[in-house]
Each structure stands twice: as C-alpha cells, then as structure tokens.
C-alpha cells in the first residue's frame, strides 16, 4: 500500500492526540503528517482550499488523490494494523450517512469549541484564554 499525507490541526487537542495515536501505530512510516496550524503550511501550494482543510480532515495518497472527512480516516486505517472492523463499518452504505452527519456536526459545532494548544517554536501548551 502506498503512503499517505495526513493534514491535521496540531493546535486542536483532540486532533493532536488522535494523530499521536496513529503515529505510534505506523510501524512502516506510511503516514506523512503535516500540521496545518504551522505558520509554514499553505493549502493552496498543494492545490487544496484553506477553508476546507481547516474544517475537514484531508489526506492525499502518493498518486495525488485527495480524500476528505470520513474518507480520510478510512484511508489512514487501511495503512495501519487493527482497523479492519472500522473500515467495514465506515464503508457500510446503510451506516455511512449517519457517520458523515455525525462527523459534520463535530467539525462545525464541537471542534471549534474544544481547547486549543498554543504552539510556538515547536513547543505546545494548552491555551488558557
């Protein structure tokens, strides 16, 4: 299986923890992790839309195919051990609309209210304001 570039929000505490979990499971270094909260990240340089990348998880395979939202998670899971049951569940056409709706509620209404990490010079701390 080819590698996958994962665009994630390192300032989001939940996102950071999830990506840290995947990083530990990535024994073959198939995931290239790109923190979109980094000052050097520019979505347009990669043909992506900044607003979309900031709202939904995005991934890109080695051939340049872009995945968004729940499809990004499925692509990550395909490359890591132990996720086959989740892949089957998330690809189930009867369950998928509910999963997509739940993910959209999370990204639009819950994630913006979650605590953010303050990251400067490679050091991150919980923001208190």
Is residue 33 domain-resident? Answer: yes
Six-digit token pair at 29?
Answer: 């270094």
Is residue 94 domain-resident? Answer: yes
Is residue 24 domain-resident? Answer: yes
The number of distinct structural domains making up the chain is 1
What is the mean pLDDT of the segment spanning 24-39? 94
Tell me which residue range forms the domain holding 80.
4-124
Average pLDDT, the chain: 90
4: which strand partners? 31, 61
pTM of the model: 0.87
> Among residues 63, 62, 88, 66, which one has the least CA distance to residue 77?
88
Is residue 116 domain-resident? Answer: yes
How many helices (H) does the chain have, and how many strands (E)?
A: 5, 6
Is residue 65 domain-resident? Answer: yes
Look at residue 121 and tell me whether its pLDDT is greater than 60.
no
Is residue 129 domain-resident? Answer: no
Look at residue 114 and tell me whether its pLDDT is greater than 90.
no
What percentage of the chain's residues is helix, strand, coil (to nearest 5)?
45, 20, 35
* pLDDT band of 124, cuts 50, 70, 90: low
């Amino acid at each position: 299986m080819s590698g996958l570039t994962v665009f994630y929000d390192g300032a989001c505490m939940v996102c950071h923890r999830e990506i840290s979990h995947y990083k530990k499971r990535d024994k073959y270094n198939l995931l290239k992790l790109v923190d979109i909260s980094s000052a050097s990240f520019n979505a347009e340089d990669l043909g992506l839309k900044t607003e979309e990348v900031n709202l939904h998880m995005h991934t890109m395979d080695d051939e340049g195919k872009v995945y968004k939202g729940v499809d990004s998670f499925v692509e990550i899971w395909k490359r890591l051990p132990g996720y086959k049951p989740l892949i089957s569940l998330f690809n189930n056409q009867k369950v998928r609309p509910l999963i997509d709706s739940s993910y959209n509620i999370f990204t639009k209404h819950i994630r913006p209210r979650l605590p953010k990490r303050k990251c400067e010079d490679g050091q991150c701390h919980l923001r208190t304001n």
